[in-house]
Structure 1
Amino acid sequence: MMLASFSGGFCHQQMACAKFHWPLLRSRVNRNVDEKFKNLTDFTASTAMIKHKKRSRLSLSPMAAAAPVKTGDFSSPKFYQEALTAARANFTQEISFQSKDKDISLAKTLLYISAEDEAFIAYNREMDAYSFQNEREGSKSSSDGQDLDEKESMLLAGKKIEDWLAELDAIAKEVEVELMSRDIGCHLTEVLEAVNKVLFDSMGFKRSNIVDSKCSYLHSVLSSKCGSAILLSIIYIEVCRRLNLTIVGSCVGEDFLIWPETGNPEELFKVNSGHSLFGIVNGRCVEDPKSKASDLNSSSLLGLDIASNRDIIGIYLANLIRLHWKRASRMNRGLMLTSPLRPVHDDKSDGSSVPLLRPQDLRLAIMASEKLLILQPHNWALRRDHGMMLYFMREYGEAVQELSICMAFAPEEEAEILEPFVEKLHLLRLESSWKSLGHKGRLTVP
């Protein structure tokens, strides 16, 4: 079993504290916070759904937004809109804070994430294909599109979410068969060895050396048997859960380690046949002196914070944001989300200087960030990063809103850095509105 790796923060950058004072802007932000954001958790969940519905209707991609509704054998935008909205609603319901953490299904939640992104990507793919067909044939035809009752089968490589969950059930059944063939009892060591044999020997699951979108979604990993470290850990947890064996995990440095829940931590580190239980689950990393896992023992293990299901989903989403941001900014090597937060009075640039990023990947990063904000609505750094992604998407109005909320909860020195940038975004938003009315030139203020 390969341990899961992650980074504790997303695109962090050291920022010097700039001493700017904008009393008018700060008072406006504070007043808005007092009046509108007293219950930030509920606000975040509801506004995220509203924004998502709006974007699925108007902003599926800059290229696709101008595409006709439907031609030939292509599906109508409404088909994808409902798939996007349903996936986000199901995700929000699954991780609702009204539910007990133990009742949250990691597999189901990740499949809802996959379903939303798959619908978004499929829509863009169809619109591109449709545009190409129109260019070749020079004709247009209309159709009513697919039956919306079929959208679940479209969302995830032709299978319903229940079918992908059944694949995890089937893996657990294979482990049970393996245990029966050994004619042994259900000792913890034997169960874990059987899980490892089925997953990594019989079925051939392996960790991908190159992290890309194909190995970053649960349904793709279940199909290809090749996935990121965090997804392999989640599959391990889900299979063991079906065997009535609870696997827990915790962040250790930049790694995410898992082990069976037990009231006797000493048994996890007892070496039997060359391996400890902790080693069986986490693989060779426990023998690597460069890994912090090699320093763990029964005492230090008790000092670790056990990750909840919501925490694990948060780690997965943070990895997804990082993946899509890296792909979106590929042509701008080294670009950090926080790069534009330099002293604004020295910056003479306007909105046209915003680097051009790959729109589909940037939108996928924003969608993952929206879902992570539902989980962590009070995380000011995450909200800052989300606002910066909206800035790079040139959605200045929404960027102002997110960064203004961030300023209300961020440490004072961080808020002082954000203030002049938010003021700049106000001007960019006005300039964009001015140009949309047919006016030319830059908006100047005294």
Structure 2
Amino acid sequence: MLCASLPGLDGGAVKASSAAMASLDIYSRCWIGNEKGKWNKLAAATTKAPMKRRFNISAMSSSALAESRCTSSTKFYQEVLNDAREKFTQEISFQSKDRDISLSKALLYVASEDEAFMAFNREMDAYSLQSERRSASLPSDATEYTCVEAMPLAGKNMNEWMVELDVIAREVEVELVSREIGCDLAEVLDAVNMVLFKSRGFKRSSVLVDSKCAYLHSVLSSGYCSAILLSVIYIEVCRRLNLTIVGSRVGEDFLIWPQTGNPEELFKVISGHSLFGIVNGKCVDDPRSRASDINSNSLPGLELATNREIIGIALANLMRLHWKRASRANHGLMLTSPLRSVDHADDKFNRLNVPLLRPQDLRLAIMASERLLILQPHNWALRRDHGMMLYYSREYEEAVQELSICMAFAPEEEAQVLEPFVEKLHLLRVESSWKSRGKKGHLTVS
């Protein structure tokens, strides 16, 4: 089922963030450990096999070696992160024609960047655990890939995941050959549906709670995914079959259908369902959904989504997911919650009463919003939400900068809401800077 709900943090606005990639010195402040200090398959795959010889290293020398290797890993992962972001930016560049953008390639760059960040966190956790235990069993440096495309994602590199889409398309061709039929549109769509939903077992997640449903490589591996990524797979497979699939936002849903001069055949009911209904899921039969009102007459009037907009929907899903995970312990917390209380007469804001959020998920949400702002740099609501996430991350200088830019683009009433918050946030930034300088001065004197 390919009915995609459009995410909206705090009031339905799609969230975003700055176009600039945060450096790894910010990332390093956000790492958290995995359970029991174990590495997952990716972390293990990026390291050389440990030497069998047992080392007897003192705690001090062990710590020094760990710090040296930590520095090397930091440099390597920063290069991977920068490479992934740069190539994502190139893929969705406005200098390119929209039809030349590869949905799958852009989203795999997103997955590669996030996976590199999480792998770095796991490796830092391992170093920390070994340091605490004064262990001499230190891992070797991560394998230095020549490019981000060579980095493993769930056992395959990026190019191999692209090939996986080619394999699915060939399975559809085999299905058509077995039927001994021509290339009738209805039969081609039926064959695609057969391979995706029956042979491959792709299923749409009604509620997005697992990050594995939000990354393309995980979806291709498990078959369990968000609706928008299932739409992306459908579009990419059909493109390989020389069949153009288009899509449009309809209310809270994202609908897809083949570009055809005869939309009536999409709505012919066969065995209780139309092809349009099979492709888009139950939303077209739900009277509560605006999608249920679509017919052969209204379909041509829908505004078609561009490839950039489809990528933006996937990124908004990703940011919404990580924000929810980051704020899980703070029930009801919204990005704009601090804006509602800034004018109160108490001093809660001045006491820096910022709720504690899960740092890794918060950073992943910020990274998703950064990519969204690359796509929509003039969207004031996206920039506001990005600035608020930076505030929650206690990056006050960056938050002041983003929210100040937002005020220049926002409607007057929204700018008036932001102004007192930004003023107080600026004071927090100055206070934080003074405290930081005071600590450095104390260390220098002693």
TM-score bracket, normalised by the shorter chain, equals: 0.7 to 0.9
Q: 1:135 Cα deviation (Å)?
A: 1.9
Q: Are 1:70 and 1:77, in contact at CA under 8 Å, matched by a contact in 2?
A: no
2:30, 2:363 within 8 Å by CA — same for their partners in 1?
no
Query: CA 1:193/1:346 → structure 2, altered by over 3 Å: closer, same or farther?
Result: same
Partner of 1:310: 308
Greater shift in the superposed pair: 208-217 or 86-95: 208-217
Q: In structure 1, what residue type is equivalent to 2:283?
A: C
Q: Name the amino acid aligned to 2:432.
A: S
Of 291-300 and 314-323, deviating more is 291-300
- Structure 2 unmatched runs, 5+: 34-62, 441-446
Alignment match, 2:193:
196
> For residue 172 of structure 2, what is the aligned residue in structure 1?
175
Structure 1 375/69 Cα, relative in aligned 2: closer, same or farther at 3 Å?
Answer: farther
TM-score by length of 2: 0.85
Match of 1:184 among 154, 158, 181: 181
| Mean CA deviation greater in 278-287 or 253-262 | 278-287
Give per-residue Cα distances to partners, 1:172-225, cap 9 Å, x unaligned: 000000000000001000001100111111111111244210111000010111
The answer as to whether partners of 1:192 and 1:280 remain within 8 angstroms in 2 is: no
Aligned length: 405
Query: CA deviation digits over 1:254-304, x for unaligned, max 9?
Result: 111111111222222222343322123113332233332222112222222
2:211 to 213, 221, 225: 213
* Residue pair 1:3, 1:285 contacting (<8 A) in 2 also: yes
Contact 2:104 2:232 in 1 (8 A): yes
Q: 1:421 to 1:112 in 2, by over 3 A?
A: same
The separation in 2 between residues aligned to 1:218 and 1:82, in whole angstroms, is 22
For the Cα contact (< 8 Å) 2:111–2:217, is it kept in 1? yes
Among residues 327, 330, 344, which one is paired with 1:329 in the alignment?
327
SS at match of 1:364: helix
Partner Cα distance (2:12, 2:90) in 1: 34
Counterpart Cα distance in 1 of 2:26 and 2:292: 51
Question: Which range moved further: 254-263 or 168-177?
Answer: 254-263
CA 298–60 in structure 1, closer or farther in 2 if over 3 Å, else same: farther
1:402 maps to which residue?
402
Higher relative contact order (CA 8 A, sep 6+): 2
Report the counterpart of residue 345 of structure 2 in structure 1: 346
Equivalent residue, structure 1, for 2:44: none
The percent identity for this pair of structures is: 69
AA paired with 2:311?
Answer: I
For the residues of structure 1 that align with 2:232 and 2:212, how far apart are their CA atoms? 16
2:247 corresponds to 1:279: no
Mapped to 2, the partners of 1:92 and 1:69 lie a distance apart of 33
1:143 deviation in Å?
5.2
Q: Which amino acid is 1:219 matched to?
A: H
Matched-pair contact (CA < 8 Å) for 1:70–1:144: no
CA 1:13/1:190 → structure 2, altered by over 3 Å: closer, same or farther? closer
Q: Does 1:48 align with 2:19?
A: yes
1: CA distance, partners of 2:219 / 2:364: 19
Kindly state the Cα deviation for residue 130 of structure 1 after the two structures are TM-superposed: 1.9
Moved >6 Å (runs of 4+):
64-67
TM-score after normalising by structure 1:
0.85
State the alpha-carbon separation in 2 of the partners of residues 174 and 315 from structure 1. 28
**C-alpha separation between the residues in 2 aligned to 1:181 and 1:397?**
62
Relative to structure 1, the CA distance from residue 136 to residue 380 in structure 2 (aligned partners, 3 Å threshold; closer, same or farther) is same
Q: 2:317 & 2:390 partners in 1: Cα distance? A: 19
1:34 matched residue in structure 2: none
Supply the distance in 2 between the matched residues of 1:226 and 1:58 (Cα, whole angstroms): 32
Corresponding position: 1:421 with 2:417: no
Q: 1:201 to 1:255 in 2, by over 3 A?
A: same
Give the whole-Å Cα distance in 2 for the aligned partners of 1:77 and 1:145: 10
SS of 1:258 mapped into structure 2: strand
Map of 1:12 onto structure 2: 11
Query: Judging changes above 3 Å, is the alpha-carbon distance between structure 1 residues 417 and 153 closer, same or farther for their aligned structure 2 residues?
Result: same
1:246 alignment partner, one of 244, 248, 273 = 244
Deviates more, 1:169-178 or 1:224-233: 224-233
Distance in 1 between residues matched to 2:437 and 2:68, nearest whole Å: 29
Correspondence for 2:356: 356
Q: CA RMSD in A?
A: 2.6
- Which residue identity lines up with residue 229 of structure 1 in the other structure? A
Who is 2:374 aligned against? Answer: 374
